[in-house]
Amino acid sequence: MREFTYSRAVTLQEALTRIAPLANGKFLGGGTNLIDLMRENIERPDTVIDVTRLSSGISESPDGGVSIGGEVRNSAVANHPLIRERYPMLSQAILNGASGQIRNMATVAGNIMQRTRCYYFYDDAANCNKRSPGSGCDAIDGFNRIHAILGVSERCIATHPSDMCVALAALDATVNIESAVGKRTIPFNSFHCLPGETPHVETVLAHDELITSVELPPLPFAKRSIYRKVRDRASYAFALVSVAAALETENGKVRNVRLALGGVAPKPWRAFDAETVLLGADVGMRAFREAADAELSKARGYRDNSFKIELARRTIAGVLSELADSAGRP
Amino acid sequence: MKEQTPSTQNRRAPSSTIQITLEINGAAHTLEIEPRVSLLDALREHLHLTGTKKGCNQGACGACTVLCNGDRILSCLTLAIQYEGMEITTIEGLGTAGELHPLQVEFMEQDGFQCGYCTPGQICSAVGMIREFRNGLPSAVTKDVSARPVELSEEEISERMSGNLCRCGAYLGIRTAIRTAFQSEVIP
Protein backbone atom coordinates (compact mmCIF):
# COMPACT_ATOMS: atom_id res chain seq x y z
CA MET A 1 0.00 0.00 0.00
CA ARG A 2 1.27 3.47 -0.91
CA GLU A 3 1.83 5.99 1.82
CA PHE A 4 -0.86 8.55 2.49
CA THR A 5 -1.86 11.19 4.99
CA TYR A 6 -4.65 10.34 7.41
CA SER A 7 -7.07 12.93 8.64
CA ARG A 8 -10.06 12.40 10.92
CA ALA A 9 -13.02 14.73 10.52
CA VAL A 10 -15.40 15.07 13.43
CA THR A 11 -17.75 17.57 11.83
CA LEU A 12 -19.18 17.73 8.32
CA GLN A 13 -17.65 21.19 7.76
CA GLU A 14 -14.20 19.84 8.67
CA ALA A 15 -14.58 16.99 6.21
CA LEU A 16 -15.73 19.22 3.35
CA THR A 17 -13.16 21.96 3.94
CA ARG A 18 -10.29 19.50 4.11
CA ILE A 19 -11.17 17.58 0.95
CA ALA A 20 -11.77 20.71 -1.15
CA PRO A 21 -8.14 21.42 -2.16
CA LEU A 22 -7.16 17.74 -2.43
CA ALA A 23 -7.77 16.47 -5.96
CA ASN A 24 -6.37 13.09 -4.92
CA GLY A 25 -8.02 12.93 -1.51
CA LYS A 26 -10.68 10.40 -0.61
CA PHE A 27 -13.23 10.00 2.12
CA LEU A 28 -12.79 6.86 4.19
CA GLY A 29 -15.66 4.97 5.84
CA GLY A 30 -15.37 1.51 7.36
CA GLY A 31 -12.55 0.68 4.96
CA THR A 32 -13.96 -2.66 3.87
CA ASN A 33 -13.61 -1.84 0.17
CA LEU A 34 -11.27 1.17 -0.01
CA ILE A 35 -8.51 -0.29 2.20
CA ASP A 36 -8.62 -3.52 0.19
CA LEU A 37 -8.33 -1.57 -3.09
CA MET A 38 -5.49 0.55 -1.67
CA ARG A 39 -3.64 -2.61 -0.67
CA GLU A 40 -4.00 -3.82 -4.28
CA ASN A 41 -2.72 -0.41 -5.51
CA ILE A 42 -5.94 0.14 -7.45
CA GLU A 43 -6.95 3.09 -5.30
CA ARG A 44 -4.04 5.44 -4.59
CA PRO A 45 -5.19 8.45 -2.61
CA ASP A 46 -2.61 10.90 -1.18
CA THR A 47 -4.92 11.68 1.72
CA VAL A 48 -7.80 9.83 3.32
CA ILE A 49 -10.32 11.73 5.40
CA ASP A 50 -12.02 9.46 7.90
CA VAL A 51 -15.70 10.39 8.12
CA THR A 52 -16.87 7.57 10.37
CA ARG A 53 -17.08 9.90 13.39
CA LEU A 54 -19.75 12.12 11.83
CA SER A 55 -23.06 11.58 13.56
CA SER A 56 -26.23 12.05 11.52
CA GLY A 57 -27.79 8.76 12.56
CA ILE A 58 -31.20 7.47 11.48
CA SER A 59 -34.33 9.55 11.94
CA GLU A 60 -37.93 9.73 10.83
CA SER A 61 -38.58 12.47 8.28
CA PRO A 62 -41.55 14.83 8.69
CA ASP A 63 -43.25 13.23 5.66
CA GLY A 64 -43.16 9.78 7.24
CA GLY A 65 -40.05 8.66 5.41
CA VAL A 66 -36.70 7.86 6.97
CA SER A 67 -33.36 9.64 6.74
CA ILE A 68 -30.16 7.64 7.09
CA GLY A 69 -26.78 9.32 7.66
CA GLY A 70 -24.00 8.41 5.26
CA GLU A 71 -21.75 7.33 8.14
CA VAL A 72 -24.29 4.89 9.64
CA ARG A 73 -23.04 1.30 9.72
CA ASN A 74 -24.91 -1.22 7.56
CA SER A 75 -25.90 -3.41 10.52
CA ALA A 76 -27.42 -0.39 12.31
CA VAL A 77 -29.66 0.23 9.29
CA ALA A 78 -30.67 -3.44 9.06
CA ASN A 79 -31.59 -3.53 12.76
CA HIS A 80 -33.43 -0.21 12.99
CA PRO A 81 -37.13 -0.63 13.89
CA LEU A 82 -38.27 1.93 11.28
CA ILE A 83 -36.41 0.11 8.52
CA ARG A 84 -37.49 -3.37 9.64
CA GLU A 85 -41.15 -2.39 9.84
CA ARG A 86 -41.51 0.00 6.89
CA TYR A 87 -38.86 -1.17 4.43
CA PRO A 88 -38.13 -4.85 5.19
CA MET A 89 -36.56 -5.32 1.73
CA LEU A 90 -33.78 -2.93 2.81
CA SER A 91 -33.07 -4.84 6.02
CA GLN A 92 -33.08 -8.09 4.06
CA ALA A 93 -30.83 -6.72 1.32
CA ILE A 94 -28.23 -5.57 3.84
CA LEU A 95 -28.41 -8.83 5.79
CA ASN A 96 -27.83 -10.76 2.56
CA GLY A 97 -24.64 -8.82 1.86
CA ALA A 98 -21.12 -9.59 3.07
CA SER A 99 -20.70 -11.02 6.60
CA GLY A 100 -21.69 -9.97 10.12
CA GLN A 101 -18.25 -8.45 10.70
CA ILE A 102 -18.27 -6.45 7.46
CA ARG A 103 -21.82 -5.20 8.00
CA ASN A 104 -20.69 -3.82 11.38
CA MET A 105 -17.94 -1.83 9.65
CA ALA A 106 -19.31 -0.77 6.26
CA THR A 107 -21.09 2.57 6.09
CA VAL A 108 -24.12 3.46 4.00
CA ALA A 109 -22.18 5.99 1.89
CA GLY A 110 -19.31 3.53 1.47
CA ASN A 111 -21.68 0.81 0.37
CA ILE A 112 -23.10 3.11 -2.31
CA MET A 113 -19.57 4.03 -3.47
CA GLN A 114 -18.16 0.49 -3.45
CA ARG A 115 -16.50 -0.64 -6.64
CA THR A 116 -17.04 -3.67 -8.83
CA ARG A 117 -15.73 -7.13 -7.97
CA CYS A 118 -14.84 -7.88 -11.60
CA TYR A 119 -11.69 -10.07 -11.48
CA TYR A 120 -10.07 -8.07 -14.24
CA PHE A 121 -10.62 -4.79 -12.43
CA TYR A 122 -8.78 -6.22 -9.41
CA ASP A 123 -5.93 -7.73 -11.48
CA ASP A 124 -3.56 -5.01 -12.60
CA ALA A 125 -1.97 -7.36 -15.13
CA ALA A 126 -5.31 -7.44 -17.00
CA ASN A 127 -6.83 -4.86 -19.33
CA CYS A 128 -9.63 -2.89 -17.74
CA ASN A 129 -11.19 0.30 -19.05
CA LYS A 130 -12.52 1.08 -15.60
CA ARG A 131 -9.13 0.89 -13.88
CA SER A 132 -7.06 2.10 -16.82
CA PRO A 133 -9.23 3.95 -19.36
CA GLY A 134 -8.54 2.93 -22.96
CA SER A 135 -6.70 -0.30 -22.09
CA GLY A 136 -9.56 -2.58 -23.16
CA CYS A 137 -11.83 -5.04 -21.37
CA ASP A 138 -10.58 -8.55 -20.73
CA ALA A 139 -13.92 -9.60 -19.27
CA ILE A 140 -15.88 -9.36 -22.53
CA ASP A 141 -14.03 -12.33 -24.04
CA GLY A 142 -12.86 -13.76 -20.74
CA PHE A 143 -14.29 -15.49 -17.69
CA ASN A 144 -17.50 -13.55 -17.36
CA ARG A 145 -19.86 -15.74 -15.39
CA ILE A 146 -20.39 -13.05 -12.75
CA HIS A 147 -20.73 -10.19 -15.22
CA ALA A 148 -23.59 -8.00 -16.39
CA ILE A 149 -26.32 -8.69 -18.94
CA LEU A 150 -28.09 -5.31 -18.85
CA GLY A 151 -26.82 -1.75 -19.31
CA VAL A 152 -23.39 -2.85 -20.53
CA SER A 153 -21.21 -1.31 -23.22
CA GLU A 154 -18.42 -2.53 -25.48
CA ARG A 155 -16.04 -1.00 -22.95
CA CYS A 156 -17.23 -2.67 -19.75
CA ILE A 157 -19.51 -5.44 -18.50
CA ALA A 158 -18.73 -5.22 -14.77
CA THR A 159 -21.56 -5.36 -12.24
CA HIS A 160 -22.24 -3.13 -9.27
CA PRO A 161 -21.83 -5.52 -6.31
CA SER A 162 -24.11 -3.97 -3.68
CA ASP A 163 -27.22 -5.63 -2.25
CA MET A 164 -28.28 -2.60 -0.21
CA CYS A 165 -28.32 -0.41 -3.31
CA VAL A 166 -30.81 -2.69 -5.07
CA ALA A 167 -33.34 -1.98 -2.33
CA LEU A 168 -32.54 1.76 -2.44
CA ALA A 169 -33.20 1.71 -6.20
CA ALA A 170 -36.56 0.00 -5.69
CA LEU A 171 -37.55 2.41 -2.92
CA ASP A 172 -36.81 5.55 -4.98
CA ALA A 173 -34.38 6.83 -2.40
CA THR A 174 -32.69 10.19 -2.83
CA VAL A 175 -29.06 10.94 -2.06
CA ASN A 176 -28.08 14.14 -0.27
CA ILE A 177 -24.66 15.38 -1.29
CA GLU A 178 -22.62 18.24 0.07
CA SER A 179 -19.35 20.00 -0.72
CA ALA A 180 -17.69 23.10 0.71
CA VAL A 181 -19.52 25.18 -1.91
CA GLY A 182 -23.03 23.77 -1.78
CA LYS A 183 -25.56 20.97 -1.47
CA ARG A 184 -27.55 18.96 -3.95
CA THR A 185 -29.99 16.09 -3.93
CA ILE A 186 -29.84 13.33 -6.54
CA PRO A 187 -32.47 10.65 -7.16
CA PHE A 188 -30.83 7.33 -6.30
CA ASN A 189 -31.56 5.96 -9.75
CA SER A 190 -29.56 8.82 -11.32
CA PHE A 191 -26.62 8.54 -8.93
CA HIS A 192 -24.73 5.69 -10.60
CA CYS A 193 -23.71 5.94 -14.26
CA LEU A 194 -23.83 3.34 -16.99
CA PRO A 195 -20.39 2.59 -18.46
CA GLY A 196 -20.95 3.81 -22.04
CA GLU A 197 -17.66 5.20 -23.33
CA THR A 198 -16.43 6.09 -19.83
CA PRO A 199 -16.62 3.07 -17.50
CA HIS A 200 -14.21 4.75 -15.07
CA VAL A 201 -16.93 7.31 -14.30
CA GLU A 202 -19.18 5.37 -11.95
CA THR A 203 -21.24 8.02 -10.17
CA VAL A 204 -22.15 11.69 -10.45
CA LEU A 205 -20.23 12.47 -7.26
CA ALA A 206 -17.37 14.98 -7.61
CA HIS A 207 -14.13 14.38 -5.67
CA ASP A 208 -14.96 17.07 -3.11
CA GLU A 209 -18.53 15.91 -2.49
CA LEU A 210 -19.69 13.71 0.37
CA ILE A 211 -22.87 11.64 0.62
CA THR A 212 -24.29 13.10 3.82
CA SER A 213 -27.52 11.10 3.93
CA VAL A 214 -29.97 8.90 2.05
CA GLU A 215 -33.69 9.67 2.23
CA LEU A 216 -36.31 6.98 1.94
CA PRO A 217 -39.66 8.43 0.90
CA PRO A 218 -42.81 7.10 2.58
CA LEU A 219 -44.02 4.01 0.73
CA PRO A 220 -46.70 2.24 2.79
CA PHE A 221 -46.96 -0.81 0.52
CA ALA A 222 -43.25 -1.50 1.01
CA LYS A 223 -44.20 -2.79 4.44
CA ARG A 224 -44.58 -6.08 2.62
CA SER A 225 -41.50 -6.30 0.46
CA ILE A 226 -38.87 -8.88 -0.32
CA TYR A 227 -35.21 -9.05 -1.24
CA ARG A 228 -34.21 -12.37 -2.73
CA LYS A 229 -30.60 -13.13 -3.58
CA VAL A 230 -29.44 -16.03 -5.75
CA ARG A 231 -25.79 -16.94 -5.41
CA ASP A 232 -23.28 -19.76 -5.73
CA ARG A 233 -23.39 -20.60 -2.01
CA ALA A 234 -26.00 -19.98 0.64
CA SER A 235 -24.18 -17.15 2.39
CA TYR A 236 -21.30 -14.70 2.09
CA ALA A 237 -21.17 -14.54 -1.70
CA PHE A 238 -21.99 -11.83 -4.22
CA ALA A 239 -25.29 -12.04 -6.10
CA LEU A 240 -25.58 -13.79 -9.43
CA VAL A 241 -29.07 -12.32 -9.58
CA SER A 242 -31.03 -10.53 -6.89
CA VAL A 243 -34.50 -9.01 -6.82
CA ALA A 244 -35.96 -6.34 -4.55
CA ALA A 245 -39.71 -6.01 -4.89
CA ALA A 246 -42.83 -4.56 -3.30
CA LEU A 247 -46.32 -5.23 -4.61
CA GLU A 248 -49.70 -3.70 -3.87
CA THR A 249 -52.80 -5.38 -5.28
CA GLU A 250 -56.44 -4.31 -5.36
CA ASN A 251 -59.38 -6.38 -6.68
CA GLY A 252 -57.04 -8.81 -8.36
CA LYS A 253 -55.07 -6.13 -10.17
CA VAL A 254 -51.63 -4.65 -9.60
CA ARG A 255 -52.14 -1.24 -8.05
CA ASN A 256 -48.52 -0.44 -7.32
CA VAL A 257 -45.22 -2.19 -7.78
CA ARG A 258 -41.51 -1.65 -7.25
CA LEU A 259 -38.90 -3.88 -8.80
CA ALA A 260 -35.12 -3.66 -8.92
CA LEU A 261 -32.38 -6.12 -9.84
CA GLY A 262 -28.86 -6.74 -8.59
CA GLY A 263 -25.97 -8.77 -9.99
CA VAL A 264 -27.03 -8.15 -13.58
CA ALA A 265 -26.00 -4.60 -14.42
CA PRO A 266 -23.26 -1.99 -13.94
CA LYS A 267 -25.58 -0.12 -11.59
CA PRO A 268 -28.39 -1.06 -9.22
CA TRP A 269 -31.03 -1.80 -11.86
CA ARG A 270 -34.52 -0.44 -11.46
CA ALA A 271 -36.81 -2.56 -13.66
CA PHE A 272 -38.97 0.28 -15.02
CA ASP A 273 -40.10 -1.68 -18.09
CA ALA A 274 -41.32 -4.57 -15.97
CA GLU A 275 -43.15 -2.17 -13.66
CA THR A 276 -44.93 -0.59 -16.66
CA VAL A 277 -46.19 -4.01 -17.78
CA LEU A 278 -47.34 -4.86 -14.26
CA LEU A 279 -49.26 -1.69 -13.39
CA GLY A 280 -52.97 -2.42 -13.79
CA ALA A 281 -52.36 -6.01 -14.93
CA ASP A 282 -54.23 -9.01 -13.51
CA VAL A 283 -52.26 -10.41 -10.61
CA GLY A 284 -50.82 -13.77 -11.60
CA MET A 285 -47.95 -15.69 -13.05
CA ARG A 286 -48.81 -14.70 -16.59
CA ALA A 287 -48.33 -10.98 -15.89
CA PHE A 288 -45.26 -11.65 -13.75
CA ARG A 289 -43.62 -13.59 -16.60
CA GLU A 290 -44.56 -10.95 -19.17
CA ALA A 291 -43.08 -8.26 -16.95
CA ALA A 292 -39.85 -10.22 -16.52
CA ASP A 293 -39.70 -10.80 -20.30
CA ALA A 294 -40.17 -7.09 -20.96
CA GLU A 295 -37.22 -6.24 -18.72
CA LEU A 296 -34.97 -9.03 -19.94
CA SER A 297 -35.70 -8.46 -23.65
CA LYS A 298 -32.81 -5.98 -23.60
CA ALA A 299 -30.45 -8.43 -21.93
CA ARG A 300 -27.38 -9.76 -23.63
CA GLY A 301 -25.48 -12.83 -22.47
CA TYR A 302 -21.75 -13.34 -22.91
CA ARG A 303 -19.74 -16.58 -22.97
CA ASP A 304 -20.39 -17.68 -19.38
CA ASN A 305 -23.29 -15.61 -18.10
CA SER A 306 -26.26 -16.23 -20.42
CA PHE A 307 -27.80 -18.30 -17.64
CA LYS A 308 -28.47 -15.06 -15.78
CA ILE A 309 -31.20 -14.10 -18.26
CA GLU A 310 -33.39 -17.08 -17.42
CA LEU A 311 -32.36 -16.94 -13.76
CA ALA A 312 -33.46 -13.31 -13.55
CA ARG A 313 -36.78 -14.12 -15.27
CA ARG A 314 -37.55 -16.89 -12.82
CA THR A 315 -36.43 -14.95 -9.76
CA ILE A 316 -38.58 -11.94 -10.70
CA ALA A 317 -41.65 -14.13 -11.26
CA GLY A 318 -40.98 -16.09 -8.07
CA VAL A 319 -40.63 -13.03 -5.87
CA LEU A 320 -43.74 -11.33 -7.30
CA SER A 321 -45.66 -14.55 -6.85
CA GLU A 322 -44.61 -14.81 -3.22
CA LEU A 323 -45.68 -11.21 -2.61
CA ALA A 324 -49.04 -11.83 -4.33
CA ASP A 325 -49.63 -14.95 -2.23
CA SER A 326 -49.02 -13.05 0.99
CA ALA A 327 -51.22 -10.11 -0.07
CA GLY A 328 -54.29 -11.41 1.72
CA ARG A 329 -52.44 -11.83 5.00
CA PRO A 330 -52.17 -9.17 7.67
CA MET B 1 16.22 -5.17 -16.56
CA LYS B 2 18.52 -2.17 -16.32
CA GLU B 3 17.98 -0.23 -13.17
CA GLN B 4 17.40 3.47 -13.52
CA THR B 5 18.52 6.06 -11.07
CA PRO B 6 15.33 7.53 -9.68
CA SER B 7 14.73 11.15 -10.50
CA THR B 8 14.42 13.58 -7.63
CA GLN B 9 10.68 13.77 -8.15
CA ASN B 10 10.28 10.03 -7.73
CA ARG B 11 12.36 9.90 -4.60
CA ARG B 12 10.22 9.38 -1.57
CA ALA B 13 10.52 10.87 1.85
CA PRO B 14 11.06 8.27 4.58
CA SER B 15 7.82 6.88 5.88
CA SER B 16 6.32 9.20 8.41
CA THR B 17 4.93 7.73 11.58
CA ILE B 18 2.28 9.05 13.92
CA GLN B 19 1.81 8.40 17.60
CA ILE B 20 -1.53 6.80 18.38
CA THR B 21 -3.07 5.28 21.47
CA LEU B 22 -5.24 2.20 21.29
CA GLU B 23 -7.32 0.75 24.11
CA ILE B 24 -6.86 -3.00 23.87
CA ASN B 25 -8.18 -5.55 26.34
CA GLY B 26 -8.61 -2.84 28.96
CA ALA B 27 -5.12 -1.35 28.68
CA ALA B 28 -3.93 1.73 26.78
CA HIS B 29 -1.10 1.12 24.31
CA THR B 30 0.79 3.96 22.66
CA LEU B 31 2.54 3.15 19.42
CA GLU B 32 4.38 4.88 16.59
CA ILE B 33 2.97 3.68 13.32
CA GLU B 34 2.44 4.75 9.74
CA PRO B 35 -1.19 5.59 8.95
CA ARG B 36 -1.30 2.68 6.47
CA VAL B 37 -0.82 0.03 9.18
CA SER B 38 -3.94 -2.12 9.49
CA LEU B 39 -5.48 -2.80 12.86
CA LEU B 40 -4.45 -6.44 12.37
CA ASP B 41 -0.79 -5.60 11.78
CA ALA B 42 -0.80 -3.15 14.69
CA LEU B 43 -2.01 -5.94 16.97
CA ARG B 44 0.31 -8.65 15.69
CA GLU B 45 3.47 -6.87 14.57
CA HIS B 46 3.56 -3.83 16.83
CA LEU B 47 1.89 -5.06 20.02
CA HIS B 48 2.80 -8.76 19.61
CA LEU B 49 -0.75 -9.83 20.35
CA THR B 50 -0.49 -12.77 17.98
CA GLY B 51 -3.70 -14.47 19.05
CA THR B 52 -5.49 -12.58 16.28
CA LYS B 53 -4.63 -14.37 13.04
CA LYS B 54 -3.87 -13.22 9.51
CA GLY B 55 -5.53 -15.54 7.02
CA CYS B 56 -6.46 -13.95 3.72
CA ASN B 57 -5.79 -10.29 4.62
CA GLN B 58 -8.67 -9.32 2.33
CA GLY B 59 -11.83 -9.82 4.32
CA ALA B 60 -12.74 -13.28 3.07
CA CYS B 61 -11.84 -15.64 5.95
CA GLY B 62 -12.65 -13.99 9.30
CA ALA B 63 -9.47 -15.20 11.06
CA CYS B 64 -8.66 -11.61 12.06
CA THR B 65 -12.01 -10.97 13.79
CA VAL B 66 -11.79 -8.81 16.92
CA LEU B 67 -14.38 -6.87 18.91
CA CYS B 68 -14.68 -3.08 18.79
CA ASN B 69 -16.90 -1.67 21.54
CA GLY B 70 -18.41 -5.17 21.59
CA ASP B 71 -19.11 -5.36 17.83
CA ARG B 72 -17.25 -7.95 15.79
CA ILE B 73 -15.13 -6.47 12.99
CA LEU B 74 -12.39 -7.59 10.61
CA SER B 75 -9.09 -6.08 11.73
CA CYS B 76 -7.47 -6.64 8.32
CA LEU B 77 -9.82 -4.36 6.41
CA THR B 78 -9.30 -1.25 8.43
CA LEU B 79 -6.59 1.10 9.66
CA ALA B 80 -5.42 0.97 13.27
CA ILE B 81 -5.53 4.75 13.44
CA GLN B 82 -9.30 4.70 12.85
CA TYR B 83 -9.80 2.94 16.20
CA GLU B 84 -8.37 5.52 18.59
CA GLY B 85 -10.73 6.00 21.50
CA MET B 86 -12.54 2.70 20.97
CA GLU B 87 -12.32 -0.42 23.10
CA ILE B 88 -10.73 -3.28 21.20
CA THR B 89 -11.01 -6.82 22.57
CA THR B 90 -8.93 -9.64 21.14
CA ILE B 91 -8.88 -13.33 22.02
CA GLU B 92 -6.22 -12.50 24.66
CA GLY B 93 -8.79 -10.29 26.39
CA LEU B 94 -11.64 -12.80 26.40
CA GLY B 95 -10.11 -15.41 28.66
CA THR B 96 -6.86 -16.54 30.25
CA ALA B 97 -5.36 -20.02 30.63
CA GLY B 98 -6.61 -20.06 34.19
CA GLU B 99 -9.99 -18.57 33.48
CA LEU B 100 -11.29 -19.49 30.05
CA HIS B 101 -14.23 -17.77 28.39
CA PRO B 102 -17.29 -20.07 28.22
CA LEU B 103 -16.95 -20.22 24.43
CA GLN B 104 -13.30 -21.29 24.75
CA VAL B 105 -14.40 -24.09 27.09
CA GLU B 106 -17.10 -25.25 24.67
CA PHE B 107 -14.81 -25.09 21.62
CA MET B 108 -12.55 -27.56 23.50
CA GLU B 109 -15.40 -29.73 24.78
CA GLN B 110 -17.20 -29.95 21.44
CA ASP B 111 -14.18 -30.35 19.13
CA GLY B 112 -14.72 -26.91 17.63
CA PHE B 113 -11.31 -26.96 15.92
CA GLN B 114 -8.51 -29.07 14.54
CA CYS B 115 -5.53 -26.91 13.60
CA GLY B 116 -6.83 -23.97 15.61
CA TYR B 117 -5.81 -21.21 13.21
CA CYS B 118 -9.33 -19.90 12.65
CA THR B 119 -10.35 -20.40 16.30
CA PRO B 120 -9.55 -16.97 17.80
CA GLY B 121 -11.55 -15.37 14.99
CA GLN B 122 -14.36 -17.91 15.37
CA ILE B 123 -14.62 -17.25 19.11
CA CYS B 124 -14.48 -13.46 18.86
CA SER B 125 -17.05 -13.66 16.06
CA ALA B 126 -19.31 -15.92 18.13
CA VAL B 127 -19.14 -13.52 21.09
CA GLY B 128 -20.16 -10.64 18.82
CA MET B 129 -22.81 -12.75 17.07
CA ILE B 130 -24.49 -13.72 20.35
CA ARG B 131 -24.56 -10.07 21.39
CA GLU B 132 -26.16 -9.14 18.04
CA PHE B 133 -28.74 -11.88 18.47
CA ARG B 134 -29.59 -10.67 21.96
CA ASN B 135 -29.93 -7.13 20.61
CA GLY B 136 -32.60 -8.45 18.24
CA LEU B 137 -30.63 -8.19 14.97
CA PRO B 138 -32.31 -10.37 12.33
CA SER B 139 -30.32 -12.37 9.76
CA ALA B 140 -30.71 -13.34 6.11
CA VAL B 141 -32.52 -16.53 7.15
CA THR B 142 -34.88 -14.84 9.62
CA LYS B 143 -38.34 -15.36 8.14
CA ASP B 144 -39.82 -12.02 9.23
CA VAL B 145 -37.31 -9.23 9.79
CA SER B 146 -39.94 -7.03 11.41
CA ALA B 147 -40.36 -9.62 14.21
CA ARG B 148 -37.74 -10.58 16.76
CA PRO B 149 -36.08 -13.89 15.98
CA VAL B 150 -37.07 -16.34 18.67
CA GLU B 151 -34.63 -19.17 18.36
CA LEU B 152 -30.92 -19.37 17.60
CA SER B 153 -31.41 -22.37 15.31
CA GLU B 154 -28.66 -24.28 13.52
CA GLU B 155 -29.62 -22.42 10.36
CA GLU B 156 -29.34 -19.06 12.15
CA ILE B 157 -25.94 -19.99 13.62
CA SER B 158 -24.63 -21.10 10.22
CA GLU B 159 -25.84 -17.93 8.50
CA ARG B 160 -24.60 -15.58 11.22
CA MET B 161 -21.18 -17.28 11.35
CA SER B 162 -20.69 -17.46 7.56
CA GLY B 163 -17.94 -14.83 7.68
CA ASN B 164 -15.61 -17.26 9.49
CA LEU B 165 -14.09 -20.02 7.39
CA CYS B 166 -12.59 -23.21 8.84
CA ARG B 167 -10.35 -25.07 6.44
CA CYS B 168 -10.31 -28.13 8.69
CA GLY B 169 -14.07 -28.27 8.33
CA ALA B 170 -14.85 -28.30 12.06
CA TYR B 171 -18.16 -26.56 11.42
CA LEU B 172 -20.27 -29.18 13.19
CA GLY B 173 -18.25 -28.79 16.39
CA ILE B 174 -18.18 -25.02 16.03
CA ARG B 175 -21.97 -24.84 15.77
CA THR B 176 -22.42 -27.19 18.72
CA ALA B 177 -19.96 -25.21 20.83
CA ILE B 178 -21.74 -21.95 20.09
CA ARG B 179 -25.19 -23.41 20.69
CA THR B 180 -24.13 -25.04 23.97
CA ALA B 181 -22.43 -21.90 25.27
CA PHE B 182 -25.41 -19.78 24.23
CA GLN B 183 -27.90 -22.10 25.93
CA SER B 184 -25.88 -22.19 29.14
CA GLU B 185 -26.52 -18.43 29.38
CA VAL B 186 -23.21 -17.81 31.09
CA ILE B 187 -21.81 -15.70 28.28
CA PRO B 188 -21.12 -12.18 29.52
What residues of chain B lie within 8 A of the CB of A6, using their CB? 18, 35, 79, 81
Residue B166 domain-assigned (yes or no): yes
Nearest CA in chain B to A227: B140
Range of the domain at B54: 18-94
pLDDT band at B149 (very low <50, low <70, confident <90, very high): confident
pLDDT score of B2: 43
CATH match for A227-325 among 3.40.710.10, 3.40.50.2300, 3.10.20.340, 3.30.390.50: 3.30.390.50
Q: Give the contacts of A221 (CB within 8 A, at least 6 positions apart).
A: A246, A247, A248, A255, A256
Candidates A1, A3, A105; nearest CB to B78: A105
pLDDT in tens, A70-125: 999 999 999 999 999 999 999 999 999 999 999 999 999 999 999 999 999 999 99
**Whether residue B106 sits in one domain with residue B85:** no
pLDDT score of B1: 42
- The residue that leads in pLDDT, A66 or B10, is A66
Interface check A24 vs B, CB under 8 A: no
Q: What's the CA gap between A127 and A189, in Å, rounded?
A: 29
Residue B54 domain-assigned (yes or no): yes
pLDDT in tens, A7-20: 999 999 999 999 99
**Whether residue B55 sits in one domain with residue B28:** yes
**How is domain A5-52 classified at the CATH fold level?**
3.30.43
Residue A144 clears pLDDT 50, i.e. is over it: yes
Are the Cβ atoms of B34 and A3 closer than 8 angstroms? yes
CB-based contact B46:B21 (threshold 8 Å): no
pLDDT in tens, B3-16: 444 444 444 455 68
Candidates A48, A50, A100; nearest CB to B163: A100
CB-based contact A189:A172 (threshold 8 Å): yes
**Whether residue B90 sits in one domain with residue B108:** no
pLDDT score of A327: 77
Candidates B81, B132, B142; nearest CB to A100: B132
Q: What's the CA gap between B118 and B168, in Å, rounded?
A: 9
Indicate the pTM of the whole model: 0.96
- Phi then psi for B22, rounded to 5 degrees? -115, 140
Helix (H) or strand (E) holding B184: helix B171-184
pLDDT in tens, B40-79: 999 999 999 999 999 999 999 999 999 999 999 999 999 9
pLDDT score of B148: 78
Per the structure, the count of domains in chain B is 2
Q: What percent of chain A has pLDDT over 70?
A: 99
Are the Cβ atoms of A31 and B135 closer than 8 angstroms? no
pLDDT in tens, A177-200: 999 999 999 999 999 999 999 999
Nearest CA in chain B to A34: B77
Q: What is the DSSP letter of A177?
A: E
Interface probe with A: pick from B54, B81, B145, most Cβ of A within 10 Å: B145
CB-based contact A148:A264 (threshold 8 Å): yes
What residues of chain B lie within 8 A of the CB of A225, using their CB? none
